[in-house]
Structure 1
Amino acid sequence: EQWYLEWLQRMINADPAARYTVKLDSKIQKDPLARAKQLTIVSRTEVTHIFDYESEEPVHVQQFKTTLDRMKAAQNSGKDIKYKLGYSNFTFELWIIVHKTDCNGILTHRHQYLKPLNSAYNQQFESLDQYKHEDNFKR
């Protein structure tokens, strides 16, 4: 996700029609409260915490709920922070699949993503973790 946000920032700022310069502070920080503690706040600050909903597996559901709880704790931490939520319904890998392939089928679980990713990149990744490298995203 971070590589996509960095690319998006470059594309917006390179557009001659852009009316503003965009700065996306796209740090990898899964814990919103830990991130809030790292920030130096001089005035009202708005933070959008972007993450994906991995699956309906209990571990991923709990991670999602914990992130929401930590966002609330960050917003109530005494710093002048308004936390917003930005998430995709499914993993970022699915987003890549629908942008790089003709995805006309149903993909309801992340274990189904490897085949279309391999097709999109003409590779034989053995796992999603093997795919998740910056040089793959930038192709």
Structure 2
Amino acid sequence: MYKQLIRLITEKNRILIAGIETICIFCLLGLGMFDIDRGTDAINIFNTKMGLVPQLIYIGIFWVLCAFFEFYLMLSQKFTKLIEWYRMLTTAMIPAYIIFKVKILGVELYSADIFVFIVIPICQIVMLVVSGLDELHKQSYNNFSEVK
């Protein structure tokens, strides 16, 4: 009974994490697209009168690379300390990125930026908690099977 319950919880957690990672991938791709658009005139998605900020090209490329890494994590379904570190780093970088973008570069924030800045940390924190719970379930399952 306990073994079946652990298996069910683990499977549901994987489905939850895959859904949240998909949201995170689209948010990171959107954030990268916004920054690349504001950094170059090669793509003109938004008709803004704002000047170009070339520094945002590199940051946009970084966000797109993070999206590809999230896609790899979604396919591999791995939970290691390195992945937890990456998730915490992504969560911590968002406020620093907002300060850098607004205060140092002087770029105005769009509502899509604000939405993404709220959604990405929430998704990353939920994935950290769920993967931590999954790890606790695995440890308790191993302890339970050793006692038998």
TM-score by length of 2: 0.28
Larger strand proportion, structure 1 or 2?
Answer: 1
Larger helix proportion, structure 1 or 2?
Answer: 2
